[in-house]
Chains A and B, each alone.
Chain A
Amino acid sequence: MKALVAVKRVVDYNVKVRVKADGSDVDIGNVKMSMNPFDEIAMEEAVRLKEAGKISEIVVVSLGVKQCEETLRTALAMGGDRAIHVQTDDYLEPLAVAKLLRKIADREQPQLILLGKQAIDDDANQTAQMLAALLNAPQGTFASKVELGENEVTVVREVDGGLETVALKLPAVVSADLRLNEPRYVKLPNIMQAKKKPLEKLAVEELGVDITPKLQQQKVAEPKPRSGGVKVQSVAELVAKLKNEAKVI
């Protein structure tokens, strides 16, 4: 059984981004970039399923600028078998990404498609669901447990009130939540090996997908700053302030 994993290159989760002075966008000029944490979890899950003998091949795909190649090499070092890079400098909306991934899925015919539940830059939480829709495949979003069978995958999902279990016919799309697993550290020998693994490059034109954005970003602003608070010296002072000043208790 083949698995397809989609990974995104994003600003590292530890970086606190700043908005550009002209308010056009956030400034990511010189900041550290990494694999989106949720995609790392999706990748780890695919590798574990392969180690358990349930998946025979893992194809990883990333879409975007040239440097996405590094993200793909990381995924290969984690245990991916080969990579596909759809290279473009254009901004890609989730729907455009889903359309491009659909073309790749049509070609590769994976039984299981794994993605992160959201990218920590745009926080959209859309791509997996959109891809499932375009493939007319079932979706197991916000997965915290995945059990892969012959014709079906059972997914435990994190929902607002607790957990929900669904069974999905294969091929299916699954999006990873934080608690699905703990991604492994990549070891040096694996990084060296990953350099030899195949990495195919595709252009957006070859896939015949219109990626024109349907949403226009007008401006980006800093959140409203919170006014500086005060330090209190004791619990008694805290209670007094909450009662008399803030009037919240």
Chain B
Amino acid sequence: MTVLIIAEHDNQHLATATRHAVTAGSKLGEVHVLVAGSGAAEVAEQAKQVAGVAKVLLADAEHYAGGLAEELAPLVVKLAADYRYVAAAASTFGKNLMPRVAALLDCPQVSDLTEIVNGKTFVRPIYAGNAFATVSSDAETLVLTFRTTAFAEAAASGGQAEVVQVEATPAQGLSRFISRELVKSDRPELTQARVVVSGGRALGSVEQFNELLLPLADKLGAAIGASRAAVDADYAPNDYQVGQTGKVVAPELYIAIGISGAIQHTAGMQDSKVIVAINKDPEAAIFNIADYGLVADLFEAVPELTAALGN
């Protein structure tokens, strides 16, 4: 029973999400990692050192450079014949690629799974995390995507996998990668952070969002998140969004500031270890899931909190 995990990378660095997927995959069998890219030998080197990886397949071709699903899917499908499970982290990369693979293999996909019950039974959230479905399948091949926050990351070193070159599949030419604009930040990555400070619409403007949240996040070494309302109002960039349609986080400490707590938001953070809510509305739904709630005007409470942490 071997598992093929599709590595996510930028041709230089293996994404942390893939190490979470390795942990999940190890629960199913021997883990092989496919690194498909252009000039991605360095990524294969990193992948072979990940604890729990038995083999790294490296496919190097120019048309794999942009990580386009149209180019990668035929390669994964060709290799899938030797595997019971084909899997990836449920990041935007995995979500984009894996269903294309599943359809070409004519096999079912279990998306964003949070628990492996046994080799054919899995648990996954539905209805924005308001329910968890246990699903099973007798299919010969299964395509899986793993929710990264549900599985710890495998150690980046300690593994001694062999690297095997595999032949690239022909270029499909259906799509072209044009550009990628990444939001630059010195902060920890949102899905990996130990502490997340998240702001909602109540912050009122992008200036206030930054003025209030940045110093607090700096004090805590935290990543910054946002509710959909804050993103839609342009207080924060899209990829800060936490929730059903944004990112799922499960930090040690999640501080929700001026966030009402709609189910679409809580779907993305309700597995946090400790949740703090600061909101002036005592009836806000966020207080139902917060471990510590402070009913207060955030414009006073947040600077006070930032100052208090300085001592």
Contact of A163 among B91, B181, B195 (CB under 8 A): B181
Besides A120-B127, A120-B128, 10 new A-B residue pairs in contact (Cβ under 8 A), listed by A number: A126-B102, A133-B73, A154-B178, A158-B239, A160-B93, A178-B232, A214-B137, A226-B291, A239-B308, A242-B253
Query: In the complex the two chains form, is B99's CB within 8 Å of A222's CB?
Result: no
Q: How far is the CB of B273 from chain A (nearest CB, A)?
A: 7
- Knowing A144-B238, A166-B177, A216-B136, say if A229 contacts B293 (CB, 8 Å): yes
Bound form: Cα–Cα A249–B219 in Å: 10
Tell me if B43 counts as interface (CB < 8 A to partner A).
no
- Knowing A93-B108, A215-B136, say if A161 contacts B175 (CB, 8 Å): no
Bound form: Cα–Cα A130–B101 in Å: 8
Q: How far is the CB of B173 from chain A (nearest CB, A)?
A: 8
Residues of A within 8 A of B101 (CB): 133
Q: How far is the CB of A243 from chain B (nearest CB, A)?
A: 10
Tell me if A98 counts as interface (CB < 8 A to partner B).
yes
Q: How far is the CB of A245 from chain B (nearest CB, A)?
A: 9
Residues of B within 8 A of A11 (CB): 127
Tell me if B111 counts as interface (CB < 8 A to partner A).
yes
Query: In the complex the two chains form, is A19's CB within 8 Å of B131's CB?
Result: yes
Tell me if A151 counts as interface (CB < 8 A to partner B).
no
Query: In the complex the two chains form, is A218's CB within 8 Å of B121's CB?
Result: yes
Interface of B is mostly: mixed
List residues 102-141 of chain B with CB under 8 A from any CB of chain A. 102-104, 106-112, 121, 124-137, 139
Tell me if B95 counts as interface (CB < 8 A to partner A).
yes
List residues 19-37 of chain A with CB under 8 A from any CB of chain B. 19, 26
Tell me if A40 counts as interface (CB < 8 A to partner B).
no
Residues of B within 8 A of A130 (CB): 99-100, 102-103
Give 21 pairs: A residue, B residue, CB < 8 Å, sorted on A.
Answer: A94-B99, A120-B128, A121-B126, A122-B126, A123-B128, A133-B99, A133-B101, A134-B103, A139-B96, A154-B178, A162-B180, A164-B177, A167-B178, A168-B174, A168-B176, A214-B108, A214-B137, A217-B135, A232-B292, A242-B276, A248-B253
